[in-house]
Structure 1
Amino acid sequence: MASVKVECVVKESALIGEGPVWEESEQTLMFVDIAGQKIHRWSPSTNQIQSLETGGTVGFVVPRRSGGYVAGVGRSIVAVDWSTQMMTSLVAVDEDRTNNRLNDGKVDPIGRLLAGTMGKEEQPAVVQRQQGSLFSVNSDLSVTKHLSQLDISNGMDWSLDQKTFFYIDSLSLTVDAFDYDKNSGEIGNRRVVYRMEKGEGLPDGMTVDSDGCLWVACYNGGRVIKIDPVTGVRLQTVSLPVTKTTSCCFGGPDYSDLYVTSACLGLDQSGRRQQPLAGSTFRVTGLSVKGQPSNAFSG
């Protein structure tokens, strides 16, 4: 076994760092700061970070096939032109729920965007329950609602054969699977793949590796866990020097680096002293597995 190494690579202290995405063409890591209302783009080769202020909470950013990116800002799906730093609203979701915001989002293998909403936090730890929904946005920008009465819509990805959609509603403390029809985008037959154990915290962002295993960031658990979705067994735990680990993705030239985002919002002064790297982004190497390129939105 190669030795697993965890290093802090982006010391930009995000309030809620989230949604890391590796951008193949630029060899950069994109991620967001939800509460800090920023999209960040970091280059490992130059160690430079560029940022865009979104003017509202931003739940995710994903590449767009036609160029630029698409992000979830407030309750709107917006197009982002990085070169001009301009954002243009494409479509809004949850229009009758003004107290909701978009949280996690990911693009499926044919270019459809899935994105979830949640009730805004009154305080960092207090979420209005069962306010959220899960939507998909097609290339023609039509919106379909798949699930409602969700707490915190999080961590999405697909099995290697694209027939299973993995999904997390964080407060349920489970990682779930659905049958997935990639042609229609319909989901069904929900079941539990993994139930969090004591001390593991809340399941948050997630990614699938090239063997089909799930890597789940554990919020308030200070770790990322590797799960076999077929057996439901936890295969590995990677500990991080911060408790509020939020999401993860594979990246690097050959997708063998695991990038992990974190949050510092909600830590008191002593918590910040004990975790000076809270809100940073980390790179985990030596895992002896690889991830896969991210999908770009077709709309």
Structure 2
Amino acid sequence: MSDLRFKLNRISPYTLDLGEGPHYDELTDRLYHVDIIKGECYWLDTKTGSFECFNFDSGLSLIVPIEGQENKFIISQNQSLVKLDLSTKKLEPIGSVDSGRDTRINDGKCDPKGRLWFGTMNWERKPGQFARGLGNLYTLDCDGQISLKQDNVTISNGLAWSSDNRTFYYIDSVERQVWAYDYDLQTGDISNRKVCVDYKLLSSFVDNEVPDGMTIDLHDKLWVASFNGKKVTRFDPETGKVLGIVETPSSKTTSATWGGNDFRTLFVTSATHGASADQLLGEPDAGAVFKVTFDQENIRGSVNQSFKFQ
């Protein structure tokens, strides 16, 4: 395993119950992200530390800008996708999924074509207990149509695409695996699922440690946040091997995305949700947003994609 030489700093003056969905906007240097439990979305100026918080209902798990529409975003509300005008707080319904199921939308991200990929999961009615197979993976196409891509999912989570647009990576956290699919950029079709990273085969990873959010670098290496693992791990998806580890101050490390100058900064979200009182006493920065900078010049990511309405 190669060494990652990095510096990690807390950049959020606030603490999140369940921080998720980081999206960096290179035009404003703002990091958009959410608190699922509180139903809040934030923008955080990554250079000045100023921020603004917007309150909605619990179950808000993603925020993605709409290309070419200033202050317009897609957010989730439980089982629905909604268009948000952040300047007026006006909400416009787009569509809903999983009718009749006790689920909510979880992680979501746009592919290089501008489609929004998003998945669902069972509501955590009791701590750590989830009904298996109730969730699904969907896309919101650029024409507004919602399509089912993968069923029988328990906790839909991290998503990423290879630089050649031929492979789609996806996480169902309960399975403790990262899956790779053949991917067709033009149609959005996925096929031939296989396991590329398996936490169960990693002896140094604790038993309750699960993969959560995910991003990818320009070398097509995966960066996976470990909930209950206190780290973000760089993996080679071709071999499943660990290439490096960024240790964080929060056991509940939730997601990561690239941003900053030339996309050389890794922004990491975390949570206090699910942590014991003793854990929180020992982790004063749990629930914070962190930035990670690397000494190695070849460590960098790429632009976060916005949604492209036709």
- Maintained 8 Å contact 1:213/1:227: yes
Aligned to 1:17: 19
Taking the aligned partners of 1:268 and 1:28, their CA distance within structure 2 comes to: 31
Structure 1: distance between partners of 2:5 and 2:156 = 33
1:36 matched to which residue of 2?
A: 38
1:47 aligns with 2:57: no
- 1:95-135: CA deviation from partner (whole Å, max 9, x where unpaired): 232x1100000101011111000010013312222110000
Give the deviation of 1:91 after TM superposition. Answer: 1.0
Q: String of CA shifts for 1:207-264, please: whole Å, max 9, x gaps.
A: 0111111100000000000011122221001111110000000111221111110010
Q: Is the 8 A contact 1:65 1:297 kept in 2?
A: yes
- Whether contact under 8 Å (1:217, 1:245) holds in the other structure is yes
| 1:83 counterpart SS class | coil
Q: TM-score, normalised by structure 1?
A: 0.96
Q: Cα deviations across residues 182-212 of structure 1 (Å, max 9, x unaligned)?
A: 1111111000111112425100000011111
Query: Contact (CA 8 Å) 1:256, 1:287: kept in 2 or not?
Result: no
What are the within-5 Å matches in structure 2 for residues 45-194 of structure 1?
45-67=47-69, 68-97=72-101, 99-194=102-197
Deviates more, 1:199-208 or 1:157-166: 199-208
What corresponds to 2:219 in structure 1?
211
CA-to-aligned-CA distance 1:258-287 (integer Å, 9 cap, x gap): 111001012222221111111101111115
DSSP-derived class of the 2:174 partner: helix
One-letter code of the match for 1:192? V
The runs of 5 or more residues in structure 1 that have no matched partner are: none
8 Å CA contact 1:124–1:265 kept in 2: the answer is no
- What amino acid is aligned across from residue 62 of structure 1 in structure 2? V
Q: 1:87 Cα shift?
A: 2.1
> SS of 2:306's equivalent?
coil
Residue among 282, 291, 294 paired with 2:301: 291
The separation in 2 between residues aligned to 1:195 and 1:269, in whole angstroms, is 30
SS at 1:250's partner residue? Answer: strand
5 Å-filtered alignment, 1:207-286, equals 207-286=215-294
Q: 1:2 offset after TM fit, Å?
A: 7.6
Q: Secondary structure at the match of 1:10?
A: coil
Q: Secondary structure at the match of 1:270?
A: helix
Name the % identity: 35
Paired with 1:47 and 1:11, the residues of 2 have a C-alpha distance of 8
Counterpart of 2:301, as a letter, is: G
Q: Contact conserved, 1:156 with 1:206, CA < 8 A, in 2?
A: yes
Give yes or no for contact 1:107–1:114 (8 Å, CA) kept in 2.
yes
Distance 1:287 1:104 in 2: 30
Gaps of 5+ in 2: none
SS in 2 for 1:272: helix
Which residue of 2 is the match for residue 7 of structure 1?
A: 9
- State how many pairs are aligned: 298
What secondary structure does 1:59 align onto? coil
The 1:2–1:129 alpha-carbon spacing in structure 2 relative to 1, beyond 3 Å, is closer
CA distance in structure 1 between the partners assigned to 2:29 and 2:39 by the alignment? 23
Which whole-Å CA distance do the structure 2 matches of 1:218 and 1:282 have between them? 15
Farther-moved stretch of structure 1 (151-160 vs 199-208): 199-208
The structure with the largest strand share of the pair is 1
1:287–1:186 CA distance, 2 compared to 1 (3 A): farther
Contact kept? 2:18, 2:35, Cα under 8 Å? yes
Q: Which amino acid aligns with 1:297?
A: F
Structure 2-normalised TM-score? 0.93
Tell which deviates more after alignment, 7-16 or 166-175: 7-16
